[in-house]
């Protein structure tokens, strides 16, 4: 019989979406959560769970927030080493930093080194699930999945496909993109906690033939997600429309090639036309908000209030290395600040939901990850709500638990992460 561990503290579980109902009706706090065999077994009072699981080990975190591990719905693990590179717009940033760095991932040893570093950095920040682009090199996918598999971690990733507007060492072809992606999908998809994502970088770096090939592959494997970029910057949109003069809008460059359906993940999606918003909602595709990236690269302000009000599925993500932090706490803080600028002050519960269950639902993994509920994966983060003197002095004046949590969202970093569990296995903890 699998061993059970009981973790105590302020245990957060969502029962509804805090954008749809009152905060009090969306979230519940429990005294403890029991995990068994890599899954959440039960939530409740300490007395109840110790009675139900009399031989369980107990890990106590008085005063700390215990919740589902963070879910980063859009990242670029190959950009780990170039995070916080100075001052470029999107296209210049790709040419100056991203493409030269991604050229190095033809070396399997280098890919393995950065894969391990990325998963170390993200875990230390409380992130337990990541959806990441790799490079055009199949070895970059193998390295990332191999490292994640060794850690028992849930990862969604895929070979980035580009057959134009990229350096010689990074371009593939329509046929090789299909063949490599299919071989990697057959090798990794559904193995342990790994999911393959079909991954055209974005329309400007794929010919119509390549987009057709990847649309065909997705039609053959509709249970896979498909990840790409959409309407990140206004000059990017102009570039796209010049390359696809027959398209109704940017989204149509994917739609006409079979790359719009449920399971689609469209990073950024800041500058959307009404038709694009309607179609994304109609098909049940997801957009992914990347706030630190949007401000760092000067892309624009994602309107969370309007997107949620119109019924869009929205995930939250770091977009490292275009994003400037591996921390989902910093990402939530940036989302709050952008919300203020667009007229929607986000509540702490809404921010935590976006960083966990919201992203899980965008990935079509709601009920599996992103929430502490019976049967869900036991991916857990424990947050110290007084991790620095500045946070502690503000938390001490809080009138309720949500007010106590908010300073950690706004000012917290990896020092706030006391403990992380991945698949029910304790990864690290503060002494």
- Each residue's pLDDT, cut to its tens digit, for the chain (431 residues) gives 689 999 999 999 999 999 999 999 999 999 999 999 999 999 999 999 999 999 999 999 999 999 999 999 999 999 999 999 887 777 888 889 999 999 999 999 999 999 999 999 999 999 999 999 999 999 999 999 999 999 999 999 999 999 999 999 999 999 999 999 999 999 999 999 999 999 999 999 999 999 999 999 999 999 999 999 999 999 999 999 999 999 999 999 999 999 999 999 999 999 999 999 999 999 999 999 999 999 999 999 999 999 999 999 999 999 999 999 999 999 999 999 999 999 999 999 999 999 999 999 999 999 999 999 999 999 999 999 999 999 999 999 999 999 999 999 999 999 999 999 999 999 976 64
Q: How far apart are CA 209 and CA 173, in angstroms?
A: 9
Does residue 67 contact residue 12 with C-beta atoms inside 8 Å? Answer: yes
Q: Which residues make beta-bridge pairs with 265?
A: 227, 286
Whether the predicted model's global pTM rises above the 0.95 cut: yes
pLDDT at residue 95, as a whole number: 87
- CA distance readout (Å), 257 to 29, 208, 215, 251, 321: 46, 7, 6, 10, 28
Structure tokens at 377: 């994966």
CATH number corresponding to 70-362: 3.20.20.140
Domain spans of the chain, in order of start:
4-68+371-429, 70-362
Structure tokens at 410: 């706004």
Gap between the terminal Cα atoms of the chain: 29
**Class of CATH domain 4-68+371-429:** mainly beta
pLDDT at residue 1, as a whole number: 63
pLDDT at residue 428, as a whole number: 72
């Amino acid at each position: 019989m699998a061993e059970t561990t009981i973790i105590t503290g302020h245990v957060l579980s969502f029962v509804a979406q805090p954008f749809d109902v009152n905060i009090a009706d969306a979230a519940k706090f429990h005294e403890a959560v029991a995990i068994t065999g890599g899954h959440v077994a039960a939530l409740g009072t300490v007395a109840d769970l110790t009675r139900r699981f009399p031989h369980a080990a107990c890990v106590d975190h008085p005063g700390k927030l215990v919740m589902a591990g963070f879910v980063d719905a859009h990242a670029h693990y190959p950009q780990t080493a170039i995070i916080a590179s100075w001052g470029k717009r999107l296209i210049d940033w790709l040419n100056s930093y991203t493409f030269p760095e991604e050229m190095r991932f033809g070396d399997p040893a280098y890919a393995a080194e950065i894969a391990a570093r990325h998963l170390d950095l993200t875990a230390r920040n409380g992130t337990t699930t990541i959806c990441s682009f790799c490079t055009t090199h199949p070895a970059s996918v193998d390295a990332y999945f191999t490292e994640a598999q060794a850690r028992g971690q849930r990862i969604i990733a895929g070979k980035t496909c580009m057959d134009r507007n990229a350096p010689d060492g990074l371009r593939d072809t329509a046929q090789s993109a299909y063949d490599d992606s299919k071989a990697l999908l057959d090798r990794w998809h559904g193995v342990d906690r790994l999911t393959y994502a079909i991954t055209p970088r974005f329309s400007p770096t794929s010919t119509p033939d390549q987009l057709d090939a990847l649309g065909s592959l997705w039609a053959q494997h509709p249970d896979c997600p498909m990840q790409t970029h959409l309407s990140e910057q206004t000059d990017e949109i102009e570039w796209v429309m010049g390359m696809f003069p027959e398209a109704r809008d940017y989204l149509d460059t994917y739609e006409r090639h079979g790359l719009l359906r449920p399971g689609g993940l469209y990073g950024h999606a800041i500058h959307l036309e009404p038709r694009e918003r309607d179609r994304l909602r109609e098909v049940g595709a997801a957009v992914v908000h990347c706030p630190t990236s949007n401000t760092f690269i000067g892309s624009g302000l994602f309107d969370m209030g309007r997107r949620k009000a119109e019924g869009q599925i929205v995930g939250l993500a770091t977009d490292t290395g275009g994003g400037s932090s591996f921390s989902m706490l910093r990402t939530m803080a940036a989302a709050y600040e952008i919300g203020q600028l667009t007229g929607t002050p986000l509540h702490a519960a809404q921010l935590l939901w976006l960083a966990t269950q919201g992203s899980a639902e965008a990935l079509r993994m709601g009920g599996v990850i992103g929430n502490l509920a019976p049967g869900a994966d036991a991916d857990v983060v424990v947050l110290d709500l007084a991790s620095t003197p500045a946070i502690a002095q503000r938390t001490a004046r809080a009138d309720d638990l949500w007010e106590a949590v908010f300073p950690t969202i706004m000012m917290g970093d990896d020092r706030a992460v006391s403990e992380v569990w991945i698949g029910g296995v304790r990864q690290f903890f503060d002494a």
